Amino acid sequence: MVAALLVLGAASYARAADAPAAAQPEKPAPLPLHQIEGSGGIFSTLSAYVVNPPRSGEPAGRPAVGFAYVHLGNGRALEAFTLTETPWKQLELGYASDGLDLGDLPQDIERDTTVRLRERSVRLSVFSARLQLVSENDSVPALTLGAHYKTNAGINRIDDDLGGVLRASGIAKDNGVDYTLYASKLLKSLPAPVLLNAGIRVTKGAHVGLLGFTDKYKYVFEGNAVVFVTGQLALAAEYRQKPNEYRPIGRLLRSEADWWTLDAAYVVNSHFTVAAGYGHFGDVLNHAANGVWGITNKFEF
């Protein structure tokens, strides 16, 4: 949700990519952002652009770090610590540590079932590698293929406490691999530059893996659009389809819904970006998470 930063620097990134190798351009704007799973994008969706690629004359890119926080209501919150490194121009390596506080779900479970959960949160670790297969030019969008290994610390203990209820609902594992294919195109002929990002994700993740993984892959669509209002301010909107492959458990674990967010991002300087956003996530655990807010930032070395 916190997602807009992604593209403010898309225009400068594209220009830098086309510059002669002998030139030493200034560092482009620090975009795209880190999305919550530790890859270049906005809040929950991606871009085909990679983060902080090598500058002209440098053998490798420099690292970037980020943090995101989303207030989900009813005692629930999502925070993400992210890190990327781009060893060369087309390859981005990413890591994210995402924590989800369960809010009042443990109390609701204890009241309805007398079961006491040992965990009050779960943590999802994500290790990603993305390769830009095609570089953007005037007629062709950038195209990037990614693989994202995810492992969930806590969900198995919760399921053990519940006597296997999650496994019975279809959440079978605590780890899985997502595969993504994204295209990005910067439209320069409009009154303001617009960056379009669209992709396909193949996933088994329940709530992106924060609730574990089912045993069946599903193809889902996701994408975003970013408008560069000025050289430092951008507005964005994103949509992420969710697989919804598990069976709900009464009011304690409701059906998964698609996500969408509206965001604004500001490039503070050539290293630092901040963003804020409004999100609509449908039901998350035992409550709806609509009209929620979040913030994010990223620093590039």
Segment 24-57, tens digit of pLDDT:
557 888 989 999 999 999 999 999 999 999 998 8
The encoded tokens of residue 277 equal 């956003």
pTM: 0.90
**Mean pLDDT of the 102-122 span:** 92
- Tell me the mean pLDDT in the region 153-171: 96
Q: Alpha carbon of 150 to those of 19, 157, 266: distances in Å?
A: 37, 17, 30
Distance, in Å, from the CA atom of 89 to the CA atom of 232, rounded to the nearest integer, reads 24
Q: Which domains does the chain have, with CATH numbers?
A: 4-300 (2.40.160.40)
Q: In the predicted model, what is the mean pLDDT of the chain?
A: 91
* pLDDT tops 60 at residue 8: no
Q: Which two tokens stand for residue 273?
A: 């970006």
- Tell me if residue 1 falls in helix, strand or coil: coil
Cα 191 to Cα 25, 188, 195, 297: the distances in Å are 26, 8, 13, 28
